């Protein structure tokens, strides 16, 4: 009887991992479906929403990473 519980728990775990894989694959397909223009537009919109201080911090961070 105890073995059946462990079997059920194991099967539930496998089903959960499989479901997570499906969700990740779906999101990856959606992410890759963006055209380069859409990606650029989205990044520019996010950049425009930043405040001036955050914008400067982002630029400095980028410059620091570029130099490494």
- Residue 42 falls within a domain, yes or no? yes
Instruction: Quote the Cα angle for 15-16-20, to 5°.
Output: 115
Q: Which domain holds residue 41?
A: 25-68
User: Domain for residue 5, yes or no?
Assistant: no
> Residue 55 and residue 48: Cα distance in Å, rounded?
9
**Interatomic CA distance for residues 9 and 15, integer angstroms:** 10
Q: Is residue 10 part of a domain?
A: no
pLDDT in tens, 12-42: 888 888 889 888 988 888 878 888 899 899 8
- 55, 47 contact by CB (below 8 A): yes
pLDDT digits (tens, 9 = 90+) for 32-68: 888 889 989 988 888 888 788 887 888 888 888 877 6
Q: Are 50 and 58 in contact (CB under 8 A)?
A: yes
> Is 14 within a domain?
no
Query: If DSSP codes are grouped into helix, strand and coil, which group holds residue 51?
Result: coil
Q: How many domains does the chain have?
A: 1
């Amino acid at each position: 009887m105890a073995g059946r519980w462990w079997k059920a728990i194991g099967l539930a775990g496998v089903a959960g991992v499989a479901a997570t894989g499906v969700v990740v694959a779906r999101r990856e397909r959606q992410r890759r479906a963006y055209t380069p223009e859409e990606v650029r537009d989205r990044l520019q919109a996010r950049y425009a929403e930043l405040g001036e201080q955050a914008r400067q911090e982002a630029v400095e961070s980028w410059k620091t990473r570029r130099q490494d």
